[in-house]
Amino acid sequence: MRPISVYVHVPFCTYKCGYCDFNAYAGLESLIPAYRDALVAEIGGYAEVLAGREIATVGFGGGTPSEMPPEGIAAVLDALRAAAPIAGGAEITLEANPGTLTGEHLAGLRSAGVTRLSLGAQSFDAGELRFLDRIHSPEATASALRLARGAGFESVNLDLMYGLPGQTLAAWEASLRAAIALEPDHLSCYCLTVEEGTPLARRVRAGTVATPDGDLAADTYDRAGELLADAGFAQYELSNWARPGHESRHNRVYWTWGEYLGIGAGAHGFVGGERSENIAHPRAYIEAAMRGMRGSAVLAAYTPDAAMMIDDYVSSCLRVTEGFALDAFAREFGGRLEAMAPRWLADCEAAGWLERADGRLRLTLRGRQLHSEVVVRLMGALGAV
Ligand code: SF4
């Protein structure tokens, strides 16, 4: 059976952090029961798409999926199982806020079928957490990880953020060392970006918060790689490191051009070469999804043109450290990348950003910080073809 993955978006948060531009809402918790029913109805509408397929992985993201009680998560997984078998040993991953977890909640998630937990630690510096408007303390993250182990989670990720205004290399190292000391299985390190329209962007514009230092962020990224390698974590994606056997199989689907259904408010999907995006606001989403027909909650769907597809493929597949096989690219697109964008390839190789080895194309260590630049240049090259 052809595998497919499922992303489920849960858009509720206790508090809307000042830097966040995700599809996330505070103060709408009363909608959670209706939202759970809408997720189940939306899945029902995809019965035909899921028929004859096997669900390889499921990812609950947000927002804060742990705002939904374990019974809600179980109801969603039951609806998926009713539509298609979930593969034995499938990764079912859920993002959680360390500030809201109890042992009982975690045990409930584990018995609902969740296999992997991703904790939004962000930092182990109390001042940085306050700056980010996070509701948890460093101690709460440590406690959540202990509770997760007690509940039987054998794969736990910690999310960390670097590139914060005023963050020193020493402060970042201290946070990272504190994270490593907790012995997670996986670490995701993301650079803070100041997104337009957020309270943080307004503060930066008003001059009350310093503009993040890009050069320091680059040094911080390099230091993260060194410290994590020393601690036994292997980098397998631009922002992700794992102990052997703990790479996220669900996230790999996004980075390797796999198919996934997007369920929930604002969720994105990629099935049959078509990209789709659901209605973003939870109230409007609930109303649309409850119609229970295929695509009733979809706001927009489109099939990217050839140049966009190629750019999308290369952009996604270059995120993983092993890159992609040039023969696989040729099979997918009916032509060789080397012939479609020879100048781009030569220039990026000469600059030391890309390298070819064993028939694969991948970013060099140096190129990992220049992924966006490499992709933008490819788009330009393809536009000129
Ligand atoms: S908890 Fe995460 S999703 Fe929710 S507002 Fe904060 S950053 Fe955004």
Q: Which atom of ligand 1 is nearest to the CA of 26?
A: 5
Domain that holds residue 337: 306-384
pLDDT tens for residues 64-98? 999 999 999 999 999 999 999 999 999 999 999 99
Pocket perturbation via mutation, ligand 1, pick of 9, 12, 16 by most ligand atoms within 8 A of CB = 16
Torsion, Cα 96 97 103 105, to 10 degrees, reads -60
CA-nearest residue, atom 3 of ligand 1: 63
Determine if ligand 1 sits within 6 Å of the CB of residue 62: yes
Pocket perturbation via mutation, ligand 1, pick of 20, 134, 158 by most ligand atoms within 8 A of CB = 20
Q: What is the pTM of this model?
A: 0.95
232-241: long-range pairs with CB below 8 Å, 24+: 233/186, 233/187, 235/321, 236/320, 236/321, 236/322, 237/319, 237/320, 237/321, 238/319, 238/363, 238/368, 238/371, 239/188, 239/189, 239/190, 240/186, 240/187, 240/188, 240/189, 241/186, 241/187, 241/188, 241/189
Rounded distance between C-alpha atoms, residue 213 and residue 165, angstroms = 7
Q: How many domains does the chain have?
A: 2
Q: Which residues pair with 30 in a beta bridge?
A: none
Residue 384 has pLDDT above 50, yes or no: no
Helix H or strand E encompassing 10: strand 2-10
Determine if ligand 1 sits within 6 Å of the CB of residue 65: no
**Looking at the domain assignment, is residue 150 inside a domain?**
yes
Give me the half-sphere count of Cα atoms (radius 13 Å) on the Cβ side of residue 126: 3
Rounded mean pLDDT, 105-114 = 97
Determine if ligand 1 sits within 6 Å of the CB of residue 149: no
CATH of the domain at 371: 1.10.10.920
Please state, rounded to an integer, the average pLDDT across all residues of the chain.
Answer: 96
Q: Which atom of ligand 1 is nearest to the CA of 97?
A: 1
Q: Is the peptide bond before 273 cis (omega within 30 degrees of 0)?
A: no
Does 315 lie in the same domain as 246? no
Does 88 lie in the same domain as 226? yes
pLDDT tens for residues 165-199? 989 999 999 999 999 999 999 999 999 999 999 99
Determine if ligand 1 sits within 6 Å of the CB of residue 64: yes
Distance 23 CA to ligand 1 centre (A): 9
Distance 156 CA to ligand 1 centre (A): 19
**Looking at the domain assignment, is residue 57 inside a domain?**
yes
Does 114 lie in the same domain as 30? yes
**Adjacency order of strands within the sheet including 354-357:** 324-325, 360-363, 354-357
CA-nearest residue, atom 7 of ligand 1: 20
pLDDT at 29: 96
Does 335 lie in the same domain as 228? no
Does 16 lie in the same domain as 126? yes
Report residue 269's pLDDT band, with 50, 70 and 90 as the boundaries.
Answer: very high
Distance 13 CA to ligand 1 centre (A): 6
Rounded mean pLDDT, 358-385 = 91
Does 102 lie in the same domain as 6? yes
The label of the residue with tokens 């993002």 reads: 95
pLDDT tens for residues 19-52? 999 999 999 999 999 999 999 999 999 999 999 9
Q: Which residues pair with 261 in a beta bridge?
A: 6
Determine how β-strand 324-325 pairs with β-strand 360-363.
Answer: antiparallel
